[in-house]
Amino acid sequence: MIKENVKISVCLNFGVMQLLLFSVSYFSYWRGGISIKEEFSDIIVEAPLGSRTKLTLPDGTLVWLNAGSRITYSQGFGVGNRKIELIGEGYFEVKKNTEKQFIVGTEVMDITVTGTTFNVYAYEHKNFVEMALVEGSVNVTTKDPAHNTLNVKPNQKVIYDKRTGLLSLEETSNKMETAWLTKELTFRHEKMKDVFQCLERKFGVTFNIKNKNILQDVYTGSFNDENI
């Protein structure tokens, strides 16, 4: 079972008048009309190191956060837009809404959907950001000036290399990308380089491989013990 250990903090945006703590509303007149703007405070949900967090967003979207991850969204989430910012790793089952797209923003790219299931790996200290699609269809757009966009289909993943700025599309079974969600680890004819990568992501460790030749070896095995 995924531990539902949620830490929520509210970052308050104080205006000149600090008497209003949670939102600031004002009226402005333009050509005889009235416009109203609401500035909402941000909500931050974190998964502490060593545990995972499951939560439901106001629109009904289910989110699982891996250890050391966090999402940020406005208190007005679902009113004007459905955008969140992610640092770390998250698995999303997005509630379908064709009128309001769901956007996951990361350091280097935005992932846009209406309703689908996908995993995002976007830790700040890693050299790459990855999005693996389980169901539905998504668009991935980079934030660099080139603004490259890829349409991704199920069992495909997008990888962005922070060092080179290259965006690539690969086929995947999604087993490695979503292994952190369960206690069981299963490998079927997987290359050792993928096995090590999966273990690094699940347990938060780094392997130093001196003999690079073994990385192309193929491995099959199943484990249901969370102890590395």
User: What DSSP assignment string belongs to 42-109?
Assistant: EEEEEE-TT--EEEE-TTS-EEEE-TTEEEEEETTTTTS-EEEEEEEEEEEEPPP-TTS-EEEE-SSE
**How many Å apart are CA 219 and CA 224, to the nearest integer?**
16
Amino acid residing at 194:
D
**How many Å apart are CA 10 and CA 106, to the nearest integer?**
20
Question: In the structure encoding, which two tokens stand for residue 116, read together?
Answer: 């689908």
The residue to which tokens 């001196």 are assigned: 210
Q: What are phi and psi of 115, to 5 degrees?
A: -175, 115
The pLDDT tens digits along the chain (228 residues) read 444 454 444 443 434 333 333 333 332 223 333 334 445 579 999 998 778 899 999 999 999 998 889 999 998 898 889 999 999 999 999 999 999 999 999 999 999 998 999 999 999 988 899 999 999 999 999 998 778 899 999 999 999 999 998 999 999 989 888 988 887 777 777 889 988 988 887 777 889 999 999 999 998 887 877 777
Does the pTM exceed 0.75?
A: no
Do the Cβ atoms of 106 and 126 come closer than 8 Å?
no
